[in-house]
């Protein structure tokens, strides 16, 4: 049965208050007792600042060790935690603030001044750290707080989607969504009090904020809190950690570092990857180098985690494993909504206690994204294999339809990534006068490999049907990625939209000729 996250935290703080919860890069320890005291004092500070249950608290700050306590203070008071990426421009921030209508915005001094000058309606502005900040106010407030009764359906947080297609939407997550998912993951991944999670992820996104932090909190484990990902710092901390959660780029960057050795990972029991596809090549290289197969899981802001490769049992590269206990996943025909058979590619739909309550102030948009029987339509395409493992084939909007035939980018990317000359790839559809869309590969060559477009296309002929072979291969120094390492395909499509239009068809990109 799902227990509110606060109940877990209180139990750990009561039973073993001296137990470490968080280490900073400077070696400073926050114990479970410290966490309980700080979150209680911050809960009082939030009330003193005028916030009440259901009010939004915008938090746009650099990653600091006070964030978990602040998030717990929100859970105590019922204030809705609303983190924003500090890298957002002022204009982006203003747009989201106008949508969220927060009572308080916590941010840095400079951003607070800029927001103040631009105008943020009735919202108050405060810093988290520094003189006059919320932490300073909390200093003189009581270290205990008796939380009012909360129900599983109450709102805990709003996270804005990255908004790569159209306007960013506020995803309303309930206490029950967060707690049920954290409990399922802690159990599935065998988290315990002895675990030390290396935390180098951002905390404005579901991965670092909820998957990492909540799973640790449920288990009563500890975290090594790094301000961001830096391969050298991560490798230096690994000998004290037992688990790491990362996006695929963490793994590719660590693989490029000479310090990644068997000895560096000797104390680790589990490496987890998610938020973007982990290439089978990276999975294989990691296992060869460390002896450990990365555990890949799949989820999204709206649904928390949906599937996971097993802790005990085979972790299959290129798959995201089976549905979490209590979570239903089905594959439906994108055109008709009819259920598809095992092995058939279709739309991934999800139902369960993990699925969000709706988009903030967008009831019609919410209704559009759910089926009549309550499944959320993820927008991802995938298929189950015979062992019940899910394979993600890409976002529905990234599907390429060329000459009337469907091409799943993930399939072409997997074939490209398996070639020795390719370090990373992204396959997109580009308008084409004859085919409607043409398959185009953007890729980064492997170190030392000369970009050999014709060789690449020839090598694919053994693996893929002719209509799936990229009509062009565009060699790039890097792929555009967001903070979570996801390739921004909309940006690639926009950059290469004119590739096949008249007068631009020749000499652009590389690798001419029909697929
Ligand atoms: P976000 O809401 O930012 O977490 O993005 C969720 C999206 O990331 C999903 O809908 C997928 O398209 C993608 N995603 C997350 N995990 C994986 C994974 N393991 N493999 C492939 N795509 C993933």
Q: Using a 6 Å cutoff on CB, does residue 162 contact ligand 1? A: yes
> How large is the average pLDDT for residues 92-98?
95
> How large is the average pLDDT for residues 366-388?
97
Per the listing, tokens 């998610």 go with 274
Judge whether 456 lies within some domain. yes
> How large is the average pLDDT for residues 53-65?
97
Judge whether 45 lies within some domain. no
Nearest CA to 316 out of 344, 334, 297, 342 is that of: 297
Judge whether 391 lies within some domain. no
Q: Using a 6 Å cutoff on CB, does residue 413 contact ligand 1? A: no
Task: Answer yes or no: is pLDDT of 508 > 50.
Answer: no
Judge whether 195 lies within some domain. no
Task: Answer yes or no: is pLDDT of 10 > 60.
Answer: yes
Nearest-atom number in ligand 1 for the CA of 297 is: 19
CA–CA separation, 104 and 122 (whole Å): 9
The predicted structure's pLDDT at residue 503:
52
Judge whether 311 lies within some domain. no
Q: Using a 6 Å cutoff on CB, does residue 300 contact ligand 1? A: yes
Cα 274 to middle of ligand 1, angstroms: 7
Nearest-atom number in ligand 1 for the CA of 379 is: 10
Judge whether 434 lies within some domain. yes
Q: What average pLDDT does the structure give for the chain?
A: 93
The pLDDT-based confidence of 507 (bands split at 50, 70, 90) is very low
The predicted structure's pLDDT at residue 54:
98
Q: Using a 6 Å cutoff on CB, does residue 340 contact ligand 1? A: no
The predicted structure's pLDDT at residue 228:
95
Judge whether 111 lies within some domain. no
Q: Using a 6 Å cutoff on CB, does residue 303 contact ligand 1? A: no
The predicted structure's pLDDT at residue 449:
74
CA–CA separation, 336 and 212 (whole Å): 37
Task: Answer yes or no: is pLDDT of 180 > 70.
Answer: yes
Name the residue of 276, 396, 427 to mutate for ligand 1: max ligand atoms within 8 A of Cβ. 276
Sign, Cα dihedral of 329, 334, 338, 342: negative
Decide if 484 contacts 205 (C-beta within 8 A).
yes
Tens of pLDDT, residue by residue over 417-456, are 999 889 999 999 999 988 889 999 999 998 887 777 888 8
Cα 210 to middle of ligand 1, angstroms: 15
Tens of pLDDT, residue by residue over 402-415, are 988 899 999 999 99
Cα 296 to middle of ligand 1, angstroms: 11
HEC string for 69-94: HHHHHHHHHCCEEEECCCCCCHHHHH
Name the residue of 282, 380, 426, 485 to mutate for ligand 1: max ligand atoms within 8 A of Cβ. 380
> How large is the average pLDDT for residues 375-403?
95
CA–CA separation, 415 and 412 (whole Å): 5
The predicted structure's pLDDT at residue 404:
83
Task: Answer yes or no: is pLDDT of 165 > 60.
Answer: no
Task: Answer yes or no: is pLDDT of 394 > 70.
Answer: yes
Q: Using a 6 Å cutoff on CB, does residue 282 contact ligand 1? A: no
- The helix/strand/coil state of 282 is helix
The predicted structure's pLDDT at residue 137:
98
Per the listing, tokens 């992204």 go with 426
CA–CA separation, 381 and 279 (whole Å): 17
Task: Answer yes or no: is pLDDT of 131 > 50.
Answer: yes
Q: How many domains does the chain have?
A: 1
The predicted structure's pLDDT at residue 27:
85
The pLDDT-based confidence of 514 (bands split at 50, 70, 90) is very low
Structure-token pair, residue 318 = 């290129």
Cα 481 to middle of ligand 1, angstroms: 13
Nearest CA to 504 out of 428, 404, 433, 427 is that of: 433
The predicted structure's pLDDT at residue 164:
56
The predicted structure's pLDDT at residue 512:
32
Cα 301 to middle of ligand 1, angstroms: 9
Cα 50 to middle of ligand 1, angstroms: 37
Name the residue of 201, 279, 298, 383 to mutate for ligand 1: max ligand atoms within 8 A of Cβ. 298
Nearest-atom number in ligand 1 for the CA of 395 is: 12
Task: Answer yes or no: is pLDDT of 36 > 60.
Answer: yes
CA 185 to chain centre: 15
Per the listing, tokens 């707080």 go with 145
Residues written for the chain:
515
Q: Using a 6 Å cutoff on CB, does residue 275 contact ligand 1? A: yes
Cα 392 to middle of ligand 1, angstroms: 9
Structure-token pair, residue 504 = 């631009």
Task: Answer yes or no: is pLDDT of 515 > 60.
Answer: no
The pLDDT-based confidence of 26 (bands split at 50, 70, 90) is confident
Q: Residue whose CA is closest, atom 9 of ligand 1?
A: 300
Cα 300 to middle of ligand 1, angstroms: 5
Q: What is the residue-wise DSSP string for 421-469?
A: TEEEEEEEEEEETTTEEEEEEEEEEPTT----HHHHHHHHTTTS-GGGS
Task: Answer yes or no: is pLDDT of 343 > 60.
Answer: yes
| CATH number of residue 438's parent domain | 3.30.300.30
Q: Using a 6 Å cutoff on CB, does residue 301 contact ligand 1? A: yes
The pLDDT-based confidence of 510 (bands split at 50, 70, 90) is very low
Q: Using a 6 Å cutoff on CB, does residue 277 contact ligand 1? A: yes
- List the domain range (segments joined by +) for residue 428: 399-503
Helices then strands, counting H and E runs in the chain, come out as 16, 25
CA–CA separation, 468 and 515 (whole Å): 7
Nearest-atom number in ligand 1 for the CA of 378 is: 10
Nearest CA to 453 out of 512, 503, 379 is that of: 512
Backbone dihedral angles phi then psi of residue 38, each to the nearest 5 degrees: -65, -40
Cα 394 to middle of ligand 1, angstroms: 9
Nearest-atom number in ligand 1 for the CA of 301 is: 2
Name the residue of 303, 349, 486, 490 to mutate for ligand 1: max ligand atoms within 8 A of Cβ. 486
Cα 263 to middle of ligand 1, angstroms: 31
Name the residue of 392, 399, 483, 484 to mutate for ligand 1: max ligand atoms within 8 A of Cβ. 392
The predicted structure's pLDDT at residue 273:
97
Judge whether 345 lies within some domain. no
Tens of pLDDT, residue by residue over 234-272, are 999 999 999 999 999 999 999 999 999 999 999 999 999
């Amino acid at each position: 049965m799902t227990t509110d996250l606060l109940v877990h935290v209180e139990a750990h703080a009561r039973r073993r208050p001296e137990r470490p919860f968080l280490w900073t890069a400077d070696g400073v320890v926050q114990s479970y007792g410290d966490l309980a005291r700080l979150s209680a004092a911050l809960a009082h500070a939030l009330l003193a600042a005028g916030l009440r249950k259901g009010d939004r608290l915008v938090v746009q700050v650099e990653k600091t060790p006070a964030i978990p306590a602040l998030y717990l203070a929100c859970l105590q008071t019922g204030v809705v935690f609303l983190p924003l990426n500090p890298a957002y421009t002022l204009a982006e921030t203003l747009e989201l603030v106008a949508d969220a209508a927060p009572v308080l915005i916590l941010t840095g001094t400079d951003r607070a001044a800029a927001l103040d000058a631009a105008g943020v309606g009735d919202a108050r502005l405060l810093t988290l750290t520094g003189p006059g900040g919320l932490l300073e106010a909390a200093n003189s407030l009581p270290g205990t707080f008796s939380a009012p009764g909360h129900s599983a359906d109450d709102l805990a947080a709003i996270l804005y989607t990255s908004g790569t297609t159209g306007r960013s939407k506020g995803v309303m997550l309930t206490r029950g969504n967060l707690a049920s998912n954290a409990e399922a993951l802690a159990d599935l991944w065998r988290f315990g009090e002895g675990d030390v999670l290396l935390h180098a992820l951002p905390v404005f996104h579901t991965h670092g904020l909820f998957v990492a932090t909540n799973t640790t909190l449920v288990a009563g484990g500890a975290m090594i809190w790094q301000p961001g990902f830096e391969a050298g710092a991560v490798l230096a901390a690994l000998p004290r950690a037992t688990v790491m959660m990362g996006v695929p780029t963490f793994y590719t960057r660590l693989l490029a570092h000479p310090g990644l050795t068997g000895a560096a990972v000797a104390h680790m029991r589990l490496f987890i990857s998610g938020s973007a596809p982990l290439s089978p090549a990276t999975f294989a290289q990691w296992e060869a180098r460390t002896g450990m197969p990365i555990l890949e899981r799949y989820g999204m802001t709206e649904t928390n985690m949906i599937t996971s490769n097993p802790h005990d049992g085979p972790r299959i590269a290129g798959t995201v494993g089976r549905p979490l206990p209590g979570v239903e996943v089905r594959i439906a025909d994108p055109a008709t909504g009819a259920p598809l058979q095992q092995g058939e590619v279709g739309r991934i739909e999800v139902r369960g206690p993990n699925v969000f309550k709706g988009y903030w102030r967008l009831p019609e948009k919410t209704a559009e994204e759910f089926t009549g029987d309550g499944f959320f339509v993820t927008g991802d395409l995938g298929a189950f294999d015979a062992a019940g493992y899910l394979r993600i084939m890409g976002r529905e909007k990234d599907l390429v339809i060329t000459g009337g035939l469907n091409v799943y980018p993930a399939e072409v990317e997997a074939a490209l990534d398996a070639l020795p000359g390719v370090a990373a790839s992204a396959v997109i559809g580009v308008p084409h006068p004859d085919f409607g869309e043409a398959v185009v590969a953007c890729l980064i060559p492997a170190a030392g490999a000369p970009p050999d477009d014709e060789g690449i296309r020839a090598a694919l002929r053994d693996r893929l049907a002719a209509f799936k072979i990229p009509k062009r291969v565009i060699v790039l120094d890097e792929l555009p990625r967001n903070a979570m390492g996801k390739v921004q395909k909309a940006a690639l499509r926009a950059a290469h939209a004119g590739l096949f239009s008249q007068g631009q068809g020749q000499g652009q990109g590389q690798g001419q000729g029909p697929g």
